[in-house]
Structure 1
Amino acid sequence: MSVAELIGFLLLAGAAAYAQTLTGFAFGLITMGGVGLTGLLSLPDAAMIVSVLTMVNATQMLLKGWRDVAWREFIFVMAASIPMLFVGYWLLGWLAGARADLLRLILGLVIIVSSLQLARKPEPLARRSGDGSFLFFGAIAGLMGGMFSTAGPPLVYHLYRQPMPLVKIRETLVTVFALNAVFRIGLVVFSGDLPSGSNLTGLLAIPAVMGATYAARRWPPPVSPATMRRIVFALLFLSGVSLGAPAVIHLLEASS
């Protein structure tokens, strides 16, 4: 990456970390959507760097919040998430070559659907969902995490419906994201698909992520959580449309 591209990536990662610290989600979606729009990195390389940055953000948040994790729900989610993460990673490699437009279209659709889902305020359930539901949503999270390092939206929606304190939901989500990131990084290293040296400069975003995480906890914005959700929704929806529309046009041109 050039100096200008690196600065742009640092700002993007910092904004994503700030949003995730306040809401418990959106780091991977914002970062991957921004990368897909700007072309700063290839999507596989970006997903690897996002995994590292997600782990940094999560570790910083969990230094004080690990006691609030809902461990039973966490275990069921991870039991299904880890195997599907491998499937998602394989799909990413299969699509990343000659099917780059299809990959961008899938990412755009994931971001659009996720933004629409997250725009709704989940209605809390009167009783906790069954263990099988955590396996199901954990599997979807693992598939999305393996492909784009964005394991959040379906799992976020499911957990926010549970009759649990918000702090417990947030810390459980962050722990899931952290462990998914660890497994994904290990998979990349094991398969030898590490980004090139120039793209690894994206890891310089680690201080930006740490600074944004601290700033969000120390100086939250003077807006309500609902307003913050709407802002994140608008950004995600527009980035998903902007990312998916050109891919559709290219695919139609190629088939004609």
Structure 2
Amino acid sequence: MMIDLPLGAVFQFLSIVAVGCYVQTVTGFALGLTVMGGVALLGVVPLNVATAAVTLVSLVNTSFALKNNAGNIAFRYLIIVVGMSLPFTWLGVWLLHYWQGAGQLMLARRLLGGVIAICAILFMLRPSAKPTPSSNSSFFVAGALAGFLGGMYATSGPPIVFHFYRQPWLREVIRDTLLAAFFLIATFRVIIAYTQDAVPIEAVGMAVYAVPVVLLFTWFAKRMPPKVSDATLRRFVFAVLIFTGVALLV
């Protein structure tokens, strides 16, 4: 598939995807946030193109993952989170599209920087499970934040990952419910973006190229994880994300 972007930009984007995928595989941290931070910091491709491409890649990844991991979904909480995410996904897509058209992408960059910095701090906090499930209202808030971040930056993960890991659920329930939420929010984003004419053709081509890169580096990370302690790895990722977030803010 032909892409109307410089070959160097495509190579840089795929390189960032490879790094983000490796980091996510060994740490569990969001691929979307890592990729979007790198893209925005380096100015590799327009934010709207990167966001659409990452959403399509996430859709493919989660659909494959759900084939073997869909038996332990907490449907009640999934419905709350995904249902609340819908209007905020629309808001995120609309706002990014509006800022793109109004030439205000610097605002989008700075907001992304703030989001990355906050998520880096959450990454260092290890949420402990509560003895009882949180209130429905807390799931509404998590769903709203996930929808907005998913709509703006294809990074719906951090709010619901942090919140789900505070629930007294089995790991399998957390995993399957997260996968289902990611899949549905990504699906909604693609549909909403399509209706707003906000899916650049370049994003489709880049997603096609990115999928094999994601599969390859997921396999590579599982076979050859870094030979450092988990604490050291988390501190390194934290430092990189904080640097990225601050650099986007200034």
TM-score (norm 1): 0.86
1:94 aligns with 2:70: no
Letter aligned with residue 111 of structure 1: I
1:185 equivalent in structure 2? 190
1:162 equivalent in structure 2? 167
Letter aligned with residue 87 of structure 1: L
1:34 CA drift (Å): 0.7
2:59 equivalent in structure 1? 55
Deviations 1:61-117 (A, max 9, x none): 222222233222211111101121111111212222322211111111111111112
Q: CA–CA distance in 2 between the matches of 1:200 and 1:130?
A: 39
For 1:162, what is the secondary structure of its paired residue?
coil
1:37 aligns with 2:20: no
* Structure 1, 12-21 or 70-79: larger mean CA deviation: 12-21
1:59 CA drift (Å): 2.1
Shift in CA distance, 68/233, structure 1 to aligned 2, threshold 3 Å: farther
1:207 CA drift (Å): 0.6
Shift in CA distance, 79/71, structure 1 to aligned 2, threshold 3 Å: same
Q: CA–CA distance in 1 between the matches of 2:149 and 2:99?
A: 14
Q: CA–CA distance in 1 between the matches of 2:133 and 2:230?
A: 24
Unaligned runs of 5+ in 2: none
Q: CA–CA distance in 2 between the matches of 1:110 and 1:232?
A: 15
1:14 CA drift (Å): 2.2
1:74 corresponds to which of 74, 78, 90: 78
CA RMSD of aligned residues (A): 2.0
1:104 corresponds to which of 85, 105, 109: 109
Unaligned runs of 5+ in 1: 246-256
Q: CA–CA distance in 2 between the matches of 1:24 and 1:100?
A: 29
Q: CA–CA distance in 2 between the matches of 1:224 and 1:68?
A: 31
1:233 aligns with 2:233: no
1:20 corresponds to which of 24, 38, 56: 24
Shift in CA distance, 51/71, structure 1 to aligned 2, threshold 3 Å: same
Confirm or deny: 8 A CA contact 1:84 1:146 kept in the other structure: yes
Confirm or deny: 8 A CA contact 1:57 1:213 kept in the other structure: no
Confirm or deny: 8 A CA contact 1:60 1:210 kept in the other structure: no
1:224 CA drift (Å): 5.0
Letter aligned with residue 205 of structure 1: A
Letter aligned with residue 2 of structure 1: P
Letter aligned with residue 50 of structure 1: V
1:65 corresponds to which of 65, 69, 91: 69
1:209 corresponds to which of 211, 214, 222: 214
1:174 CA drift (Å): 2.4
1:46 aligns with 2:54: no
Letter aligned with residue 29 of structure 1: L
2:124 equivalent in structure 1? 119
Deviations 1:116-163 (A, max 9, x none): 122111132111112221122111110111111111212221111111
**Identical aligned pairs, as a percentage?**
37
1:223 CA drift (Å): 4.8
Letter aligned with residue 236 of structure 2: I
2:148 equivalent in structure 1? 143
Aligned residue-pair number: 244
TM-score (norm 2): 0.88
Q: CA–CA distance in 1 between the matches of 2:201 and 2:89?
A: 23
1:226 CA drift (Å): 4.3
